Amino acid sequence: MDPETAATLSAPGAWDLLQSLPEYDEGAALAVGTRLRAAGHDPALVAAVLTQSRLRLRGRVKFGDRVERMLLTQDGVEQATRWQLAARHAARFAEAGLETVWDLGCGLGGDALALAAAGLRVEAVDADPTTAALAAHNLDGVAGARVRRALIEELDLGHDPGVGAWLDPARRLPGRTDARGRTARTFSLDQLSPTWDQVQRVAATVQHAGAKLAPSFPHHEIPGGAEAQWASFGGEALECVLWWGDLVRHAGRTAQVHVGTTEGGQWHEVTDDGCGPAPVASGPDDIGEWLHEPDRAVLQAGLIGVLARLASGTETAPGVGYVTGPAPVDVPWARPFRVRSVHSLSTKALRRWAHEEDIGALTIKKRSMPIDPDRLRHDLRLRGTREAVVVLTPVARQPMLLEVSPVAQRQPR
Ligand SMILES: C[S@@+](CC[C@H](N)C(=O)[O-])C[C@H]1O[C@@H](n2cnc3c(N)ncnc32)[C@H](O)[C@@H]1O
């Protein structure tokens, strides 16, 4: 957001006008804008409140109903932590007995709101003056929360054992946009803002610290004694949070998986129980009666060994994540499938199989297989009446197709 728009939104009457708008509807936005301008409102103000109204629709996913009291930017909404995860992070600080948390690079204040809601005092700072001003608005009246514009490197963080720090470095490259006009993202630790070095320096100074990084965070970068926890929500791996000091629950790699509805549901934690990496199938004969597809966070945390041990089975290929075994495993963070048949990836043989099995449609799941699913469907000339689910995976370096049947799992609410 440019400073002029921020000034427009903080002018007298702007907030009341924004709050008076109906829920944003793309189809009606033009008419609403015309009506407001005709009523005498400044066109710049009308544009600014309509943009805020549109951002609230997207922001609701991240902030829930709190969004009604917030001012937003597109980048800020995209980068903000989902409130369900922010609440989990905040609970960790509270449960570790900390009283105050520095939110170092607070953005719009999503994490700061969750920290305050957990009963913690929050010292929120952001380098960007406009972002800091929006965060100050968003945290206005929130007990125990204070916002200021500052650079992390200017702060004296002190060594108080009751004080922790939270960092959520920006993974955007300001000034560079992607094909959809959004600020380009980076997956490189060198391009984070604050930098990975700064994050580690803060953790060394404050001792009890947490830092939210991308789910692609490399395992070899996990600092000694820290916990790296991957998290997924709605089946999507969203983050890897590093925890230091008293915030560590299990040093090493862990995962937390949310299962169930957005509003309710349950969290399940998976920890490396010392079982090491999963053994790998040595050939198609090792494919058992069951195949399991783990949640993405568990896969990215490299905890497939835990699933393989529970399944008394093997991973179909290193790092692929599919685990096969003789019996189904009943855990909320992995989906079991019954294996109906196993095939080499020969077009001719698969065409015959699809014909004999009366297959007319294929749902294709695949990992580590550079195959275009549409091309495969086309090559198999599917003419039957039955829909089949297949998994494409290498097994002992051989590309294989497994026909599987999904099994209904208990659904938490
Ligand atoms: C990903 S956003 C934080 C989002 C926030 N946790 C939330 O949930 O709303 C990162 C923020 O860090 C700020 N930042 C980057 N480098 C900084 C620095 N050296 N000092 C202070 N803030 C910084 C950026 O301006 C940006 O607003």
| Weakest mean pLDDT among 30-44, 94-108, 173-187 | 173-187
Nearest CA to ligand 1 atom 17: 194
- 294-325 pLDDT, tens digit per residue, is 999 999 999 999 999 999 999 999 999 999 99
The answer, yes or no, to whether any atom of ligand 1 lies below 6 A from the CB of 193, is yes
Q: 268 has which bridge partners?
A: 257
Cβ of residue 174 lying under 6 Å from some atom of ligand 1: no
Task: Report the 3 state secondary structure along 216-257.
Answer: CCCHHHCCCCCEEEEEEECCEEEEEEEECHHHCCCCEEEEEE
What is the model's pLDDT at position 354? 96
Q: At what angle do helices 129-138 and 3-10 cross, to 10 degrees?
A: 30
- How much is the pLDDT for 5? 87
Give which of 92, 400, 397, 30 is closest to 242, Cα–Cα.
Answer: 92
Res 400: pLDDT: 95
Is the Cβ atom of 80 under 6 angstroms away from ligand 1?
A: yes
Distance CA 291, CA 297 (A): 18
How many whole angstroms from 397 Cα to the centroid of ligand 1? 43
Assess whether pLDDT exceeds 60 at residue 412: no
Torsion sign over Cα 255, 107, 224, 249: negative
For ligand 1, what atom is nearest to the CA of residue 128? 25
Give me the pLDDT at residue 274, please: 80
Instruction: Report, as an integer, the average pLDDT of 404-412.
Output: 75
371-387: buried (b, 16+ CB within 10 Å) or exposed (e) per residue? eeeeebeeebebeeeee
- Percent of the chain scored above 70 by pLDDT? 96
Mutate to test the pocket of ligand 1, among 128, 137, 186 (most ligand atoms within 8 A of CB): 128
Pocket probe for ligand 1: among 134, 193, 199, 212, the residue whose CB has the most ligand atoms within 8 Å is 193
Q: CA nearest 345: which of 326, 320, 321, 372?
A: 372
Binding site membership of 168 for ligand 1 (Cβ less than 6 Å): yes
Q: How many CA atoms lie within 13 A of 301 on its CB side?
A: 36
pLDDT > 90 in the chain, percent: 82
Res. 410 pLDDT band, cuts 50 70 90:
low
Categorize the per-residue pLDDT at 49 as very low, low, confident or very high, splitting at 50, 70 and 90.
very high
Closest CA to 166 of 220, 231, 87, 233: 87
Structure tokens at 2: 């440019």
Cβ–Cβ < 8 Å for 101, 162: no
| Confidence check: pLDDT of 179 > 70 | no
Does residue 123 line the site of ligand 1, with CB under 6 A? no
CA distance 143 to 120: 9
Answer yes or no: is the C-beta of 110 below 6 A from any ligand 1 atom: yes
Residues in the chain: 413
pLDDT band at 18 (very low <50, low <70, confident <90, very high): very high
Q: Is the CB of 73 under 6 A from ligand 1?
A: no
Task: Check if 59 has its Cβ closer than 6 Å to any atom of ligand 1.
Answer: no
Mean pLDDT of 241-258: 97
Residue 107 zone, left/alpha/beta (φ > 0; ψ -120 to 50; rest): left
Give the pLDDT score at 177.
Answer: 67
> In this structure, which residue's CA is closest to atom 26 in ligand 1?
107
Q: What's the CA gap between 30 and 239, in Å, rounded?
A: 37
- Residue pair 222/180 in contact (Cβ under 8 Å)? The answer is no
Q: Is 295 in the pocket of ligand 1 (CB under 6 A)?
A: no
Cα distance between residue 400 and residue 391, in whole Å = 8
Q: Which amino acid is at 370?
A: P
Ligand 1 center from residue 103 Cα (angstroms): 9
Asked whether the predicted pLDDT for residue 36 surpasses 80, the reply is yes
Ligand 1 neighbourhood includes 151 CB (under 6 angstroms): yes
- Which ligand 1 atom is the nearest neighbour of the CA of 150? 21
Is any ligand 1 atom within 6 A of the Cβ of residue 194?
yes
Q: What is the mean pLDDT of the chain?
A: 92
**Cα–Cα–Cα angle for 290, 293, 298, nearest 5°?**
135
State the pLDDT confidence band at 82, using cuts at 50, 70 and 90. Answer: very high
Q: Is 229 in the pocket of ligand 1 (CB under 6 A)?
A: no
Ligand 1: nearest atom to the Cα of 111: 8
Residue 86 burial (C-beta neighbours within 10 Å; 0-12, 13-18, 19+) = buried
Closest CA to ligand 1's atom 14: 105
Distance 307 CA to ligand 1 centre (A): 36
Candidates 89, 99, 86; CA nearest to 164 is 99
Report the nearest-CA residue for atom 20 of ligand 1: 151
Write down the pLDDT at residue 184: 72
- pLDDT, one tens digit per residue, over 180-231 is 667 677 778 888 999 999 999 999 999 999 999 999 999 999 999 999 999 9
